[in-house]
Amino acid sequence: MRSFWFLTFTLAVAALAQDSTADDDAKKARQAAAAKLLPLIPDCGLTCLETMVLASPCSFTDLDCSCNNATIAEQVAVCVLGTCSVKQTLSTKNITEIMCGKPRRDRTHVIAYSGIGGMAVAVAAYFVRIVSKIHISSQGRTIFTELWWDDFALTLGMMFLIPLCSISVPISSPGLGRDVWTLTYHEITRTLKLLYADELLYVGSLGTVKIALLLTYLRFFSVPRFRQLVYIMIGVNVCYMLAFMLGSAFQCKPISMTWNRWDGEHKGTCVSFNGLGWTSAICNIVIDLIVIGMPMPLLWTMKLDNKKKFMVMLMFGVGFFVTVISILRLHILVSYGEAKNFTWDYVPLGYWSKLEVQAAVFCACMPAMRNLYRRFWPKITGSTRGGETTGQSGLSGRTLATSDYGGGKSVDTEVGLKTTQDETKDIRAD
């Protein structure tokens, strides 16, 4: 069968070569190139091509007709998927697209740029947060810090986020962002290995950043019931992280099946990728809504000036933006499911996942960023010096400061260090 097809096509190309019309030069060149590629097509794919072309109005020599006929393309795809192995299917698809002169799609740069660019913003926000909590006494002899558990939780989150975003470069060179049939078998396996690590880092980074935000709530609010709810949500986040990190890590038995199952040549069992991904995304959205909505009743009772209201609205606007990204990510998971061309179809999933974590870090750093701006540009932030210290907490003897609610007072939340009275006035932060 292969010999018959190859001989027929070669004779047709030779006949066309005798035609000296200048307009046919490009066509003859394509036919000659196709004749060289034809022997590389697997037998099962070649049989499907011959069967479908013979049943169509196209001739063997009319490459344009065969390539542009949607019916032939659909029938060949069904035939190849039913008779060829995964590797043979990918080879057939790749070679026929080259023969037909199909353009090579490539958006690997989207993955790399979004990962590294967003990481730079997140790292800068984290740096500003840490710097805002380092103070020098008025005499310049002593350094004080306001670092607390929320800062350490966010630091752990950054330890997840930096490798998560850095993976964007190797996972797209080449891999994610190109059609799967244009990759070598080794590149497909390598991409799946990196996606495996990517999923673990995603869950870890997102969970720890939310814990950092919840711990920040403990800095600002002293209402007992609210603090109890914060501790409960911290526990929920820890359970979420452990459950889905372990679920992702051991989704296949043996673990290597996670990146080897694509070829259908390895033995093992795996849980449903869709089930695991959808459950994780839904839980993430629910937790997002609770964490962002928790302080709303308390904030509603505060009387803040317009500048402070704008700052609060901006912070929670970023928080809700993170939730919107989570919903978009779930939509992509549901839409594509077990996508066969996963290296192309999952590109939006890749950059939305990175942006979700990057925006969450930025949101968690916004209160501290305001503190730094307040130190140098108090008029911009609308800073005041209200507030009462209530007690000590944290690693550095930090004094929490909260404000009264209601009563018609203009309320502000301030955090100071337990130093001398003059030094406290200098370094007190909203």
Q: Answer whether residue 16 is part of any domain.
A: no
Examine residue 414 and state whether it is found in any structural domain, yes or no.
no
The answer, yes or no, to whether residue 187 has pLDDT greater than 90, is yes
Mean pLDDT of the chain: 80
User: Do 96 and 121 fall into the same domain?
Assistant: no
pLDDT of residue 106: 94
Maximum CA pair distance of the chain?
A: 99
Separation between Cα atoms, residue 267 and residue 286, nearest integer Å: 36
Amino acid at 356: E
Which tokens go with 193? 């290995």
Q: Are residues 60 and 129 in the same domain?
A: no
> What's the pLDDT band for 55 if we cut at 50, 70, 90?
confident
Q: Does the pLDDT at position 259 exceed 70?
A: yes
| Residue 313 located in a structural domain | yes
362-403 pLDDT per residue, tens: 988 888 777 666 666 665 555 544 333 333 333 333 433 333
pLDDT 10s digits, 142-182 = 676 778 899 999 999 999 999 999 999 999 988 999 999 99
Residue 333 belongs to domain spanning: 107-134+146-375
- So what's the pLDDT on residue 256? 95
DSSP reduced 3-state for 416: strand
Q: Hey, what's the torsion of the CAs at 330, 331, 334, 335, to 10 degrees?
A: -150
With respect to residue 418, please indicate whether it lies within any of the assigned structural domains. no
Domain count of the fold of the chain: 2
CATH code, domain with 212: 1.20.1070
> pLDDT value at position 428?
40
Residue 93 to residue 346: CA distance in whole angstroms: 19
Is the distance from CB of 259 to CB of 185 less than 8 angstroms?
no
What is the model's pLDDT at position 23? 52
| Angle (CA) 344 168 361, round 5° | 115
The reply to whether 272 and 348 lie within a common domain is yes
Residue tagged 């779930």 (tokens): 330
User: Does 25 appear as a known binding residue?
Assistant: no
Judgement on whether residues 93 and 111 belong to the same structural domain of the protein:
no
Report the DSSP beta bridge partners of residue 230.
none
**What is the predicted pLDDT for the residue at 209?**
95
**The predicted structure's pLDDT at residue 127:** 92
Does 368 map to a domain?
yes
Tell me the per-residue pLDDT of 313-332, one tens digit each, with 9 for 90 and over.
777 788 888 989 999 888 88
Task: Say whether the peptide bond before residue 163 is cis (omega within 30 degrees of 0).
Answer: no
Between strands 143-145 and 398-402, the pairing is unpaired
Q: Do 63 and 202 belong together in one domain?
A: no
220 and 315 inside one domain? yes
Q: What is the pLDDT of residues 73-112, one digit of tens each?
A: 899 999 999 999 999 999 999 999 998 888 999 999 999 9
Q: Tell whether 340 and 357 lie within a shared domain.
A: yes
CA–CA–CA angle 264, 265, 269 (5° rounding): 65
Per the CB < 8 A criterion, the answer to whether 183 and 254 are in contact is: no
- The answer on 89 and 54 residing in a single domain is yes
CA 230/CA 287 separation, integer angstroms: 12
Structure tokens at 428: 């007190």
Q: How confident is the model over 196-230, as pLDDT tens digits?
A: 999 999 999 999 999 999 999 998 888 899 999 99
Domain closes at, from 75, 100, 125? 100
The pTM of this model reads 0.80
pLDDT tens for each residue of 29-44: 777 777 788 889 999 9
What tokens appear for 4 in the block?
Answer: 């018959």
Residues 6+ away with beta carbon under 8 Å from 402: 220, 221, 222, 387, 388, 390, 413
Distance from C-alpha of 147 to C-alpha of 134, rounded to nearest angstrom: 8
Residue 143: what are its φ and ψ, rounded to 5°?
-110, 130
Assess whether the previous peptide bond of 174 is cis (omega < 30° from 0).
Answer: yes
Q: Is 356 contained in some domain? A: yes
Same domain, 83 and 168: no
213 φ, ψ (degrees, to nearest 5)? -65, -40
pLDDT tens, residue by residue, 116-138: 999 999 999 999 988 888 877 66
Angle at 288 between CA 117 and CA 204, to 5 degrees: 60
Flag whether 73 is in a domain.
yes
Within a 10 A sphere around the Cβ of 53, how many other Cβ atoms? 20
Report how far residue 121's alpha carbon sits from residue 147's, in angstroms, rounded to the nearest whole number: 21
Q: Which of 42, 41, 62 is nearest to 53 (CA)?
A: 62
Residue 292 half-sphere exposure toward CB, CA atoms < 13 A = 21
Let me know if residue 389 belongs to a domain. Answer: no
Task: For residues 202 and 291, state if they share a domain.
Answer: yes
Same domain, residue pair 205 and 247: yes
Amino acid identity of residue 87, one-letter, is: K
pLDDT at residue 425 above 60?
no
**Same domain as 218, residue 158:** yes
Beta bridge partners of 270: 252
Report the range of poorest mean pLDDT among 236-245, 275-284, 381-390, 394-403: 394-403
Q: Which of 36-50, 136-150, 235-249, 408-422 has the lowest mean pLDDT?
A: 408-422
In the chain, the percentage of residues whose pLDDT exceeds 70 is 77
